[in-house]
């Protein structure tokens, strides 16, 4: 291993919608480094299908979007955060449009207007989308813009390992991160006056997930190791409908299909959703995911069916081109066949605790996007609110950090270079692969859609043993991306189990058979782990 130390004003870890939109706001007077662990476009953002929610039509209102978000959040949303996001949303959408994002339009006589989609939990059509590949289009526009910026250095195939933190207690400050360059296998010390975690979610902690491989919760684990409070990790939202096919890796069938009339059916063709909720297919996603999980577990089905054959074939091909095409690749024509689907881990509502400016409990360290727990989603995310949250909080981080850096003459302190000690290159890669699968299976079986105390206790014991093994391995061998991700996944698993074990009730996306009711007297609060609540910037 060799060593390198470089400094910038901003270090942004992650190149999804949060990281890229933040980078674009920073003026050319400041040096920005973006590190991203795969190629630039690879992120959850790029896979977003349904769209981005915002009050856009004159029939809609902020009050309605706020209300829908609060209802989905099941009593745990922080109302000030919800109001801020909803009110600032339209301006952020206008910025995306100004950057060249092409949202889908529909013709209204001579005029064309943005085509607003409807999704479960929304009272109005307010989802701006680019057909059914919204994330890909937004990321395309953001990357094109970021690549024009002379002050932004992009380091692909670079993995953030740990944060550089100085001082103790209230005097701590974050000054960048150790980063592994996967191509040269060197660990670099990337110092920065402001560090922003934009590392996204952690779907890979579960066996079935809609998330791409990069979603291993690295930012949450890094912040946790640095002593930042982490909250609400029990609220992992399961997407009700991922394509069920042996060769289809994590392909999501958008909720917009249910918004456009698709019906969920048992394999024998019987619809079932109205037996679970009066809103049937338009019930919030956790209700739908649990209904499907119950149908599968009670009846031994390997999957259920999503049937949209009632809509016209031409319309379906136009409205859902990517989904139609992908299904066809697996021999399923959605205009003539029902689609086999299963639930899968999709979105993490919890994460690194931040305040209304995206600031963590450690000065100079921020978090934005799915990695952060802003208080917006509460116990459950309203569909298509996450892309909006990421752009709104990227702006808020920018404003706060800009004020911090104005007149700040501090230079970055010097940090010791990464010390591999006596570590050697591993010839036991199988241990990493095996343990990785063990964690994902354990989390799926014991900490999945429906939980029990007994299963959580088993999971906790299992993860503790796995973590011990990982610790031994970590210090013996030189770090690789797989090993770093494995360590982070185990930490995220531990945090989910700890939060889920604390919450003795069912609420939003956390459901336990032992406490099926919601307990507002005891549990209308966040589950904070990893630091004392005194250190936590959000207190309610």
**Which residues here bind ligand FAD, judged by CB under 6 A?**
13-19, 35-38, 42-45, 47-52, 134-135, 159-160, 198-201, 210-211, 214-215, 218, 252, 347, 369-371, 384-387, 390
Long-range pairs of 435-438 with CB within 8 A, sequence gap ≥ 24: 435/466, 435/469, 435/470, 435/486, 435/490, 436/482, 436/485, 436/486, 436/489, 438/462, 438/466
495 contacts 233 by C-beta, under 8 angstroms: yes
Least separation in angstroms between residue 347's CB and ligand FAD is 6
- Shortest separation between residue 192's beta carbon and ligand FAD, angstroms: 14
Contacts of 460 (CB under 8 A, 6+ apart): 494, 497, 498, 501
Are 225 and 39 in contact by the 8 Å Cβ rule? The answer is: no
* 37/451 with CB nearer ligand FAD: 37
Q: β-strand 105-108 against 111-114: which pairing, if any?
A: antiparallel
Dist. CA 7–CA 378, nearest whole Å? 37
Smaller CB separation from ligand FAD, 342 or 390: 390
- Nearest distance, CB of residue 326 and ligand FAD, angstroms: 11
CB-nearer residue toward ligand FAD: 343 or 369: 369
- Helix pair 385-405, 79-98: axis angle to 10 deg: 90
Structure token pair of residue 515:
């406490």
Query: Between 213 and 277, whose beta carbon lies closer to ligand FAD?
Result: 213
* Angle (CA) 389 391 396, round 5°: 90
* 3-state secondary structure at position 304: strand
For the bound state, the minimum distance from the C-beta of residue 456 to ligand FAD, rounded and expressed in Å, comes to: 25
Question: Which residues 6+ apart lie within 8 Å of 406 measured at CB?
Answer: none
CA angle, residues 418, 421, 423, in degrees to nearest 5: 105
Residue 409 neighbours by CB distance under 10 Å:
5
Q: How far is the CB of 371 from ligand FAD (least distance, A)?
A: 6
Nearer Cβ to ligand FAD (254/501): 254
Between 134 and 324, CB nearer to ligand FAD: 134
Smallest CA-to-CA distance from 210 within 265, 289, 139 is with 289
Q: How far is the CB of 233 from ligand FAD (least distance, A)?
A: 15
**C-beta separation of 526 from 503 below 8 A:** no
Sign of CA dihedral 179, 470, 528, 345: positive
- Residues 332, 305: Cα–Cα separation, whole Å: 12
Q: Give the C-alpha separation, 32 to 53, whole Å.
A: 29
Nearer to ligand FAD, 347 or 515 (CB): 347
As measured in angstroms, the least distance from the Cβ of 508 to ligand FAD is: 16
Q: Which is nearer to ligand FAD, 19 or 508 (CB)?
A: 19
Task: Find the helix packing angle between 385-405 and 17-25, rounded to 10°.
Answer: 40
Q: Is 39 a catalytic residue?
A: no
Alpha-carbon distance 512 to 303, whole Å?
Answer: 22
Longest dimension (CA), the chain: 72
Q: Least Å distance between CB 126 and ligand FAD?
A: 12
Catalytic residue among 92, 285, 455, 503: 285
Looking at the Cβ atoms of 372 and 456, the one nearer to ligand FAD is: 372
* Distance between CA atoms of residues 211 and 46, nearest Å: 10
Minimum distance of ligand FAD from residue 240's CB (angstroms): 12
Q: At 321, phi and psi to the nearest 5?
A: -65, -45
Q: Find the radius of gyration of the CA atoms of the chain.
A: 22
Q: Catalytic positions, please?
A: 285
């Amino acid at each position: 291993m060799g060593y390198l130390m470089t400094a910038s004003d901003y270090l942004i870890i992650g190149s999804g919608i949060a990281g890229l939109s933040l980078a674009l706001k920073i003026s050319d007077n400041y040096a920005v480094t973006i590190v991203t662990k795969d190629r630039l476009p690879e992120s959850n953002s790029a896979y977003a299908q349904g769209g981005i929610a915002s009050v856009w039509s004159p029939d809609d209102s902020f009050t309605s979007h706020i209300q829908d978000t609060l209802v989905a959040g099941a009593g745990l949303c922080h109302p000030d955060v919800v109001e801020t996001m909803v009110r600032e949303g339209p301006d952020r959408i206008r910025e995306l449009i100004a950057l060249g994002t092409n949202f889908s339009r529909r013709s209204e006589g001579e005029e064309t207007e943005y085509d607003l989609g409807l999704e479960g939990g929304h009272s109005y059509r307010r989802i701006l989308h680019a057909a059914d590949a919204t994330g890909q289009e937004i990321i395309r526009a953001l990357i094109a813009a970021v690549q024009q910026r002379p002050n932004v250095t992009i380091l692909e195939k670079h993995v953030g390992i740990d944060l550089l933190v100085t001082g103790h207690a209230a005097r701590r400050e974050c000054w960048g991160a150790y980063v592994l360059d996967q191509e040269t296998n060197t660990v670099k010390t990337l110092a920065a006056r402001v560090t922003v975690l934009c590392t996204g979610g952690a779907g890979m902690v579960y066996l079935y997930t809609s998330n791409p491989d990069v979603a291993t919760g690295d930012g949450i684990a890094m912040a946790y190791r640095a002593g930042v409070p982490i909250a609400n990790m029990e609220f992992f939202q399961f997407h009700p409908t991922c394509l069920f096919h042996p060769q289809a890796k994590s392909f999501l069938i958008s909720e917009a299909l249910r918004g456009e009339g698709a019906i969920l059916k048992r394999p024998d063709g019987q619809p079932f959703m109205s037996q679970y909720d009066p809103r049937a297919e338009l019930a919030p996603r956790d209700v739908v995911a649990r209904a499907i999980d119950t149908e599968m577990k009670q009846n031994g089905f390997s999957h259920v069916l999503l049937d949209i054959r009632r809509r016209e074939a031409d319309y379906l091909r136009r409205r859902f081109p990517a989904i139609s095409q992908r299904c066809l690749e697996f021999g399923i024509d959605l205009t003539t066949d029902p689609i086999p689907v299963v639930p899968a881990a999709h979105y993490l509502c919890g994460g690194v605790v931040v305040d209304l400016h995206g600031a963590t409990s450690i000065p100079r360290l921020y978090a934005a996007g799915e990695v952060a727990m802003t208080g917006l989603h509460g116990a459950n995310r309203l569909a298509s609110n996450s892309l909006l949250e990421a752009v709104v909080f990227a702006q808020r981080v920018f404003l706060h950090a800009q004020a911090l850096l104005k007149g700040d003459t501090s230079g970055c302190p010097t940090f010791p270079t990464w010390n591999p000690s006596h570590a050697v290159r591993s010839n036991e890669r199988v241990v990493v692969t095996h343990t990785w699968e063990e964690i994902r299976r354990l989390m799926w079986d014991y900490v999945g859609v429906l939980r029990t105390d007994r299963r959580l206790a088993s999971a906790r014991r299992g993860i503790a043993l796995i973590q011990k093994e990982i610790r031994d391995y970590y210090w013996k061998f030189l770090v690789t991306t797989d090993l770093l991700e494995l360590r982070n996944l185990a930490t995220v698993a531990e945090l989910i189990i700890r939060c889920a074990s604390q919450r003795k009730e069912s609420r939003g996306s956390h459901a336990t058979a032992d406490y099926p009711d919601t307990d507002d007297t005891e549990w209308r609060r966040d589950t904070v782990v990893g630091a004392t609540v005194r250190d936590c910037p959000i207190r309610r």
